[in-house]
Amino acid sequence: MREVYADHAATTFPRHPQVPEAMSSFLLDIGCSPGRGGYRRSLDASRLVYDSRALMAEFFKVPQPEQVVFTPSVTYSLNLLIKGLLQQGDHVIISSMEHNSVVRPLTRLVRERAVTLDVVQCNTDGTLDPLQVKNAINNQTKLVVLTHASNVTGTFLPVHEVGEILKGKDIFYAIDVAQTAGSESLGFGAMNCDYLAFTGHKGLLGPPGIGGLCISERAAEATESLVEGGTGSRSEDENQPGFLPDKFESGTLNVPGIAGLAAGVKLVNELGLETLQKHKRELTAALLLGLAEMPEIEVYGTKNPHTTAATVSINVKGMDNGDLSFMLEQGFGIMTRSGLHCSPLAHRTIGTFPQGTLRFSLGWTNTSSDVEHILSALSEIIREN
Amino acid sequence: MREVYADHAATTFPRHPQVPEAMSSFLLDIGCSPGRGGYRRSLDASRLVYDSRALMAEFFKVPQPEQVVFTPSVTYSLNLLIKGLLQQGDHVIISSMEHNSVVRPLTRLVRERAVTLDVVQCNTDGTLDPLQVKNAINNQTKLVVLTHASNVTGTFLPVHEVGEILKGKDIFYAIDVAQTAGSESLGFGAMNCDYLAFTGHKGLLGPPGIGGLCISERAAEATESLVEGGTGSRSEDENQPGFLPDKFESGTLNVPGIAGLAAGVKLVNELGLETLQKHKRELTAALLLGLAEMPEIEVYGTKNPHTTAATVSINVKGMDNGDLSFMLEQGFGIMTRSGLHCSPLAHRTIGTFPQGTLRFSLGWTNTSSDVEHILSALSEIIREN
Size of interface A-B (CB pairs under 8 A): 303
User: What residues of A are in contact with residue B99 (Cβ under 8 Å)?
Assistant: 229-230
User: Measured between beta carbons, which residues in chain B are less than 8 angstroms from residue A233?
Assistant: none
Answer yes or no: is the ipTM higher than 0.95: yes
Please say if the pLDDT value at position B49 is more than 90: yes
Residue type, A141: T
Q: In what order do the strands lie in the sheet with A337-339?
A: A297-299, A311-316, A357-361, A337-339
For B252-283, b/e burial (b = at least 16 CB within 10 A) is: bbbbbbbbbbbbbbbbbeeeebeebbebbbeb
Cross-chain Cβ contact A79/B228 below 8 Å? yes
Q: Which fold has domain B18-270?
A: Aspartate Aminotransferase; domain 2 (3.40.640)
Residue B346, pLDDT score:
97
Q: Rounded distance, CA A377 to CA A331, Å? A: 8
Of B178, B144, B141, B146, give the one whose Cα is nearest residue B159.
B146
Cβ atoms of residues A335 and A359 within 8 Å: no
pLDDT of amino acid B36? 67
Give the pLDDT score at B38.
Answer: 84
Q: What is the pLDDT of residue A36?
A: 67
Amino acid B10: pLDDT: 97
Spans of chain A, pLDDT less than 50: none
Within chain B, residue ranges assigned H as helices are: 18-25, 40-59, 74-85, 100-112, 130-136, 159-166, 217-222, 255-271, 273-292, 321-332, 344-350, 368-384
Element (H, E) at B339: strand B337-339
Of A74, A232, A344, the CB nearest to B238: A344
- pTM exceeds 0.95 for this model: yes
**For the segment A116-156, what is each residue's pLDDT rounded down to a tens digit?**
999 999 999 999 999 999 999 999 999 999 999 999 999 99
pLDDT number for residue A385: 86
Residue A338 burial (10 A CB sphere; 0-12, 13-18, 19+):
buried
- From CA B167, how far away is CA A233, in angstroms rounded? 38
Q: Do A75 and B227 touch (CB under 8 A)?
A: yes
Comparing C-alpha atoms, which of B384, B368, B351 is closest to residue B152? B351
Determine whether the interchain pair B208/A341 forms a contact, defined as Cβ–Cβ distance below 8 Å.
Answer: no
Chain A residue with Cα closest to B348: A236
State the fold for domain B4-14+272-384.
Aspartate Aminotransferase, domain 1 (3.90.1150)
* Residue to test with chain B: of A228, A233, A258, A353, most B Cβ within 10 A: A228
Are B79 and A226 a contacting pair at CB < 8 A?
yes
Question: Residue A104: enclosing H or E segment and its boundaries?
Answer: helix A100-112
In this model, does residue B44 exceed pLDDT 70? yes
Q: Do A104 and B229 touch (CB under 8 A)?
A: yes
Q: Which residue of B has its CA nearest to A356?
A: B236
Chosen from A8, A27, A152, A330 to mutate, greatest number of chain B CBs within 10 A: A27
Q: Are strands A91-95 and A297-299 parallel, antiparallel or unpaired?
A: unpaired
Which whole-number Å values give the CA distances from B381 to B47, B286, B326, B328, B334, in the listed order?
53, 19, 11, 8, 12
Which of A15, A17, A337 minimises the CB distance to B36?
A337
Taking the domains of chain B in order of start, what are their residue ranges?
A: 4-14+272-384, 18-270
| A267 and A202 Cβ atoms separated by less than 8 Å | no
- The answer to whether A17 touches A371, Cβ cutoff 8 Å, is no
What's the alpha-carbon Rg for chain A, to the nearest Å?
21
**What percentage of chain B exceeds 90 in pLDDT?**
97
Sign of CA dihedral B32, B36, B38, B43: positive
Q: How far off is chain A from B345, nearest CA to CA, in Å?
A: 8
Q: What is the pLDDT of residues B318-333, one digit of tens each?
A: 999 999 999 999 999 9
Q: Which long-range contacts (CB under 8 A, 24 or more apart) does B241-245 make?
A: B243/B66, B244/B64, B244/B66, B244/B67, B244/B69, B244/B215, B244/B220, B245/B53, B245/B66, B245/B67, B245/B68, B245/B69, B245/B70
Q: How far is A21 from chain B (nearest CA, A)?
A: 8
